[in-house]
Structure 1
Amino acid sequence: MRMLEVLIVGGGVTGAAAAYALARRGRRVLLLEQFAIGHARGSSHGLSRLIGFAYPQRYYTQLAIAARQAWLDLEADTGQRLLIKTGVLDIGATSVPSLHACAVNLAAAGVPFEQLSAAELRARFPQLAITDQTIGLYQPDGGMLPASRCVATLIEQARRYGATIAVGVRVDRIMPDGSGVRVDAAGATYRAQRMVMAAGSYTPVLLRSLGISFPLLVTREQVAFFLARDRVLSKAGYLPVIVDHSDGREPSLICFPDLGEGVKAERHGVGPLVHDPYEPPPPPDPAENERIARRLEQTLPGFASRLVRAETCRYTHTPDGDFLIDRHPEYGQIAIAVPCAGHGFKFAPLIGEILADLAVQGTTPYDIAPFRLDRLRKQKAVALA
């Protein structure tokens, strides 16, 4: 077959964004997705994802600013509205150090935000259960992204610019081939000058075939949708996206306003391990729905009055919790991205541009030093010493 310029493995939001960025640059792109676009066995499906800027690490705040502009650029290119501006409110006890670090980083980056006292929170957001020790960071430019529609839009635009999207094609083997790469998938062989691996929870299996063995943990996370007693105060325009850090000792609660299917809530990052990503996910756990409901009632009383439905997705965790975005240490023709630790969706169009940079020219103007593979290899060496 004809040598491709870039082959992308994975059709979730990261792979779709990379395909869009590369095709828009005029590159010959083939994307392979083992299921259908928008499938529910990964990290990119569903009604909504958060886009906000409050991070205790300054590099994420800076990247989030650039990512928001990338979403606006995509909107301009497509004529579609994707970013739903609801505002984002991070709340927690005054004793939580990460909230103070977030405030410092927001101010340093010039992000519009307000630091709200307990009295100010009660006056502005009467839905919330607020103690006198609670503070808030309100970011008016934050909001929600319709996840499945965002992925579909990126895929549609990639096709518009000439990318080929092949679904139902599971990758079996990846082999460096001289300065290029060979991929065996679904009984066919593909050759490309460059490859982008954006396989989400399937990445650990594929990396082992390329000689990288540091642990990537995959967890199955659960979200639940509830009807609130007060349907008005649960809607966008009255309720921002809420991130409740509580006292910092229990999992954060993330709550999204009702877009028609109820208020979406999740306890962040508490799911069980997924040992085999190829196994179909089990149904949502009723016990976790109850735990989410209890946690939601602590933050927003009356908002868990009736469960509508629940769904699951997957997080892929590096050992230190930061993203992995880099080229393979031996095979520079292969770029790898694992931005899936539960907050990567918001960065997708920017990460797509970074991956396009790495695939085409081997470098990127964006600072990806915190996400380089070498820091994980060093951590592993120290742990073994």
Structure 2
Amino acid sequence: MGKTSFRHIVIGLGGLGSAAAYWLSQRDGGDVLALEQFELGHARGESEDHSRIIRKTYHTVDYVRYAQAAYDTWAEVEAHAGEELVVKTGELNFWPEVTTLDETAFNSAMAACDVPFERLSAAEVSRRFPQFRFDDSIHAVWQPDGGLLAASKANAAHRRLAARQGAVLRDNAPVEAIRQINGGYEVRAGGQIYEGEKLILAAGPWTNRLLAHFGLSLPLVVTQEQVSYVTPLDAAPFTPERFPVWIWMIHDNYYGFPIYGANGVKIARDRFVPTTAETRSFTPDPENEAQLRGFLERHIPQAAGPLLYSKTCILTHTPDTDFVLDSLPGHPGVFCVVGANHAMKFASVIGRTLADLACTGETAQPIEAFRFGRDALRSTE
């Protein structure tokens, strides 16, 4: 059966777990086991698709600094993998007159971290990017470092490099039991028994299933979301060189991407439809498709060609929208991470942070807001 005792066991090989396995294997090579309940790269979770937005536009200084570290960390992974994972297109955040989001907080946090940005009128946006059509009540903030992360490629790169560095990756190995033993933890998964000194739980919507082994739970909400890929009437204006990633800055925002990975632009809207990992649907909602098409027809009409395809996904949310990135109460050797719906852009630096914590017990990254014991996570109802 091979090796069964490891210094580190990572549970979950989506975006965050794959990154943790990679950064742990940088330090401890063959002393890392990573377990995935399904096949590697499966589409049942949160982190697989051609692209995710990567950005430095955040509402707090700590998030902006963590985003800056994310860019630096991805650059290291790109160099190691020998492939491009971050495509800088620039980012446009569109601010309507009425929104519950605080533009001043975003701009102040970027300014405090020396992140360049410009505030553009609707007319200025039209001159630079004639693909967009907005009336004068709208303005935008342009940040040139924004772009897309090649999510599925990045996850695969983390796993490939981890295995090359000696990590053992096991798929189709759902966790059946975890118990504390002298010097660590015993994990029964896929019919096998493993021992590990440290555990990292990176299970997304299945997090509470793992926490139950420790008598714990978190007040997490899983939602079903949907993206559509649409073939533009003319592809040329929508390449990454000419069309930026963009976000409509309201709570249930629209957002979109240039053509990348599929022969269409990608558009989505946060809808926050409650579901579970077990009950979610893989069938796209025609009403959502119609909403997305309506937005394109009004504001990006050249992109509103034939629907290429739509797909559903699920996301895991915390009550305050901040990550969970900490050891478990009473279990200093067990670390839990929850991405809170916006972690993929941070995946590699989160994996590196988890490796810091597991190997040294500390990290230089700004993670105080992500602690397990914060007020927003105290309710388990």
Give the structure-1-normalised TM-score: 0.93
Q: CA deviation at 1:298?
A: 3.2
2:341 paired residue number: 342
- Listed as ranges, the gaps of 5+ residues in structure 2 are none
Q: Residue type of the partner of 2:41?
A: G
Instruction: Tell me, yes or no, if structure 1 residue 264 matches structure 2 residue 231.
Output: no
- Counterpart Cα distance in 2 of 1:116 and 1:280: 40
1:375 paired residue number: 374
- Counterpart Cα distance in 1 of 2:177 and 2:246: 42
Q: Secondary structure at the match of 2:9?
A: strand
1:281 to 1:184, Cα distance in 2 relative to 1, 3 A: farther
Q: CA deviation at 1:295?
A: 2.6
Match of 1:241 among 236, 240, 245: 245
1:320 paired residue number: 320
Do the aligned residues in 2 keep the contact of 1:214 with 1:376 (CA within 8 Å)? no
- Shifted more, 188-197 versus 109-118: the winner is 109-118
Match of 1:42 among 42, 45, 58: 45
Do the aligned residues in 1 keep the contact of 2:232 with 2:305 (CA within 8 Å)? yes
Q: Secondary structure at the match of 1:273?
A: strand
- Shifted more, 284-293 versus 142-151: the winner is 284-293
Q: Secondary structure at the match of 1:355?
A: helix
Q: Residue type of the partner of 1:308?
A: L
Q: Secondary structure at the match of 1:311?
A: strand
Q: Secondary structure at the match of 1:34?
A: coil
Q: CA deviation at 1:156?
A: 0.6
- Listed as ranges, the gaps of 5+ residues in structure 1 are none
Q: Residue type of the partner of 2:63?
A: Y
**Pairs aligned (count):** 376
Q: CA deviation at 1:40?
A: 0.4
What does 1:111-190 correspond to in 2, within 5 Å?
111-190=115-194
Q: CA deviation at 1:377?
A: 6.5
Give the structure-2-normalised TM-score: 0.94
- Counterpart Cα distance in 1 of 2:97 and 2:378: 32
- Counterpart Cα distance in 1 of 2:184 and 2:375: 25
Instruction: Tell me, yes or no, if structure 1 residue 294 matches structure 2 residue 299.
Output: no
- Counterpart Cα distance in 2 of 1:169 and 1:356: 22
Q: Secondary structure at the match of 2:142?
A: strand
Aligned Cα RMSD in Å? 1.8
Q: CA deviation at 1:255?
A: 0.5
Do the aligned residues in 1 keep the contact of 2:118 with 2:142 (CA within 8 Å)? yes
Q: CA deviation at 1:147?
A: 1.1
Q: CA deviation at 1:378?
A: 6.4
Q: Secondary structure at the match of 1:209?
A: helix
- Counterpart Cα distance in 1 of 2:106 and 2:298: 23
C-alpha distance after superposition, 1:267-326 (max 9, x if no partner): 02x142223x24574322222211222233333124222111011221101121111000
Instruction: Tell me, yes or no, if structure 1 residue 210 matches structure 2 residue 214.
Output: yes
C-alpha distance after superposition, 1:126-164 (max 9, x if no partner): 111222122211111111111111111110110111101
- Counterpart Cα distance in 1 of 2:142 and 2:263: 25
- Counterpart Cα distance in 1 of 2:232 and 2:112: 37
1:85 paired residue number: 88
